[in-house]
Amino acid sequence: MAGPAVDHRGLPAGTALTAVVFDLDGVLVNSFEVMRLAFTHAFREVVGDGEPPFEEYLRHLGGYFPEIMRKMGLPLDMEGPFVRESYRLADRIELYPGVRELLDELRERGIPCAVATGKAGVRARSLLDGLGVLDRFAHVIGSDEVDRPKPAPDIVLRALTLMDVGASETMMIGDAVYDLEAARAAGVAPVAALWGECDPGALLAAGPVASLESPDELLAFVLAAGK
């Protein structure tokens, strides 16, 4: 899959990035409509009246659902119906255009990839399996499988350990500030994905080494940074 030439001026001279950690929602898959429906359903079932604060929820993306509920002051009981509805509606979730080709190209070139997501691991693996791309990843790690969710570095460090790669040779692609903060705390190059429904201003303010507009640009960046 050809893509535009993308430089990597934000990287230290001589850096060669040869492994990739992906966030899931907003980077690999377009799940925002399903997320909105599941959040609204969970809010109505558990809280009842009032306007579901979905926009506030979006500001915490990248984190683990129970931790987001604590930060928002919402009942932890929302997790059950949220997960149930997410599973029920999973067939509405699609890969972003170009992602399948990106993953195929990375696999063909022998570039190890992992997913580090705010979702529970079993949900993430089920979703990627249903989309036919689970085998493109050496490991898929959920926030329930580490001690601390993003923005702590635990999930990124776990990915590095499982892939047996060093932080200095790895980049993380995320669409949320939490992703970039977790990457930086783990010593991994943070890269912003701008093709989803992210807040570009907040991502750019977080200081990624690159900000990319499409999976095509991401492929070009990975290949250039691996030289």
Q: Provide the residue count of the chain.
A: 227
Radius of gyration over every alpha carbon of the chain, rounded to an integer in angstroms: 17
Partners of residue 171 on adjacent β-strands: 20, 189
- At 217 the three-state DSSP class reads helix
Give me the mean pLDDT over the 201-205 stretch: 91
Please give the angle made by the CA atoms of 205, 206 and 207, to the nearest 5 degrees. 90
Q: Lowest-pLDDT range, 64-78, 99-113, 128-142, 212-226?
A: 212-226
- At 202 the three-state DSSP class reads helix
Both tokens assigned to 111? 């570039």
Query: What percentage of residues in the chain have a pLDDT greater than 70?
Result: 93
pTM value? 0.89
Residue with tokens 């993953």: 103
Give me the mean pLDDT over the 23-36 stretch: 95
Q: Rounded to whole angstroms, how far apart are CA atoms 37 and 199?
A: 20
pLDDT tens per residue across span 143-196? 999 999 999 999 999 999 999 999 999 999 999 999 999 999 999 999 999 998
Check pLDDT > 70 for residue 6.
no
Give me the mean pLDDT over the 208-225 stretch: 90
Sequence spans of domains, the chain: 19-30+94-225, 32-92
Check pLDDT > 60 for residue 47.
yes
pLDDT band, very low/low/confident/very high, at 198 (cuts 50, 70, 90)? confident
Check pLDDT > 80 for residue 3.
no
Q: Are 21 and 183 in contact (CB under 8 A)?
A: yes
> For residue 15, what pLDDT is reported?
64
> For residue 8, what pLDDT is reported?
47
- At 117 the three-state DSSP class reads strand
Check pLDDT > 50 for residue 2.
no
* Residue-averaged pLDDT of the chain: 91
Homologous superfamily (CATH) for 19-30+94-225: HAD superfamily/HAD-like (3.40.50.1000)
